[in-house]
Amino acid sequence: MSIATTDTPKSEIKSGTKPETKSETKFDAEAFAMNVARAMESGGKALAAYLKPRETGEVQDRPPAELAEVVKTFTSVAEYWLSDQSRSSDLQTKLAKDYLDLWGSAARRMAGQDAQPAIAPSPRDKRFADPEWKSNQFFDFMMQLYLLTTKWAQELVHDAELDPQTRRKAEFYVQQITNAISPSNFVLTNPEVLRETVASSGENLARGLTMLAEDIAAGKGMLKIRQSNPDNLVVGVNMATTPGKVIYQNEMMQLIQYSPTTEKVLRTPLLIVPPWINKFYILDLKPEKSYIKWCVDQGITVFVISWVNPDRRLGAKSWEDYMKEGPLTAMDVIEKVTGEMKVHTAGYCVGGTMLATTLAWLAEKRRQRVSSATFFAAQVDFTHAGDLLVFVDEDQIAALEQDMKASGVLEGSKMAMAFNMLRSNDLIWSYVVSNYLKGQQPSAFDLLHWNSDATRMTQANHSYYLRNCYLENRLSTGTMVLDNTLLDLSKVKVPVYNLATREDHIAPAESVLYGSQFFGGPVKYVLSGSGHIAGVVNPPASNKYQYWTNDNINDVNVAQWMKGAVEHKGSWWPDWREWLGSLDPEEVPARSVGTEALPPIEDAPGSYVRVRA
């Protein structure tokens, strides 16, 4: 999946907000009173924005299905500890000892003595980077109290005897709760926010509550946290600007062909299958970040699927429909435009999973339509699928299917929130503090603007994906049935370039490596630095990160694979282009966009991509 996505480097996320500026303005009691009044007025507007859709019936509040899972999971943890009196006593004694150690350390500091902290934050924890968390005894005490409690709660789950799925859910829920109650998330216990409040006489709170009201209104009664400023971030104007045309469209997708920039191009064109959870322009952000533009400049005829943002009318569209009306139809159109029966293919995240099922279907039908397959952070086996498995079991899928029946789709905002929760400190709470407590407007950041541009998913397609891939893992085991056809990845003989990213929370590197063994042809596994997005969208000109290669992919995990891997500085893009050229180096004169039979419909990026959820 994508969205999250979910993996923006912390340095880049940090740059998504305007830097603080120290104000020399002295505290003004009258101005403070005025700003508090403004904040209360905005708070009233926020409450009104929350209540209005509920009064009109647009939103019907009911306990979320996830709440039952949280209660059931924590009940299992509690039963383990409370079922044995000595075990429960030991647990309480340990927490009490930690608190007494903290109190003793704090008392010694108050008496002017040197005292080692009872616990210290991780150097990578940006929440407590401000020096006052350690220099000020009050904030230091609050921080240590929080860290000790968090450590105790995590050990509560870690040391309990639970089945793997219950443990996974308990660890995830504990992390969400402890992230939410961090003292950095509250005005009176965050030194940075307090300084800003005093320096600006509370103007930060007035600005923040105004943004909170706007964000609840934008979310139609639900909080839609802004992660970027939309100014100067317009699809087709500032992003997704690589020249091209929509040459074909149906209910499910528009097919874009990009205009050549070289005199000659590879004979075999490239078809890119992006995910439908977010929009294709992650591969065509600003020109200097655009993978699509780079491919065009490398002499490749590029075609990209732009998926529809579906509504209730399309709710019955299934995985089979996406395959037939997506990549299979695109291949037919490309043949008509270029005369080439075979294409290079690339699939990103769930688009890669779709591509893999398409390749297996073609192999079973003995149709030779593909010369190679490239996968960007995509899974075909879900044994090691990571934190997203928290949301996948029979009860949760059944509850989700029941919710989707009413509208025929899964709202993109729900999936976006799930991805954001995988890194809630970076993608939720840092923005709560920055936006609503410090009153800082996020800067214009294309990657996070894309991240918030989620799409809906049809009920039938999403249900099939969750059950056949995450829950039952049918694709790699050879038991997936699609279009009355049993799929077998071992019959996929085309060369595969399988890219994983080292810090991926959505398609873990371990999962991608393990999935490499199921293809029947040669597989080149490549591991890129960074995560699900930045590890893929890493243009050579940026000279960032690195990638590793190692031909040995059999019976090894990532740690073992890394021991024999060769590190290469910079982007993996040139390595992929060299690999692609080695498969079929023949060139032909650059092709014009479309044909007389398939004239351009509209300019890229097309109209489907502009429909917001």
Q: Is 60 exposed, middle or buried (0-12, 13-18, 19+ CB in 10 A)?
A: exposed
Pairwise CA distance, residues 292 & 290, whole Å: 5
Listed residue (512, 514, 544) closest to 527, CA to CA: 512
Please name the residue that has the structure tokens 């075999």: 268
ω before 4 within 30° of 0 (cis)? yes
Pairwise CA distance, residues 525 & 566, whole Å: 12
DSSP-assigned letters across all residues of 501-545 = ETT-SSS-HHHHHHHGGG-SS-EEEEEESS-TTTTTS--GGG--S
In degrees, to the nearest 5, what angle opens at C-alpha 295 toward C-alphas 291 and 301?
130
Tokens representing 120 are: 């210290």
DSSP-assigned letters across all residues of 367-421 = ---EEEEEEES--S--TT-GGGGGG-SHHHHHHHHHHHHHHSEE-HHHHHHHHHH
Q: Who contacts 288 (Cβ-Cβ below 8 Å, separation ≥6)?
A: 539, 541, 542
Tokens representing 297 are: 């400049």
Please name the residue that has the structure tokens 């905005």: 42
Q: Pairing relation of β-strands 270-273 and 302-307?
A: parallel
Beta strands in 143-285 (DSSP E): 244-249, 253-258, 264-266, 270-273
Most distant CA atoms of the chain, gap in Å: 87
Listed residue (93, 83, 91) closest to 162, CA to CA: 83
| From 46, 199, 212, 349, the catalytic residue | 349
Q: Pairing relation of β-strands 457-458 and 409-410?
A: antiparallel
591 CB neighbour count, 10 Å cutoff: 17
> Which residues partner with 19 through β-bridges?
none
Active site residue 349: yes
Please name the residue that has the structure tokens 């699928």: 385
Contacts 24+ apart (CB under 8 A), 549-556: 549/524, 549/575, 550/525, 551/524, 553/513, 553/516, 553/517, 553/523, 553/525, 554/517, 556/513
**516 within 8 A of 535, measured Cβ to Cβ:** no
Tokens representing 362 are: 């073609």
Cite the active site residues: 349
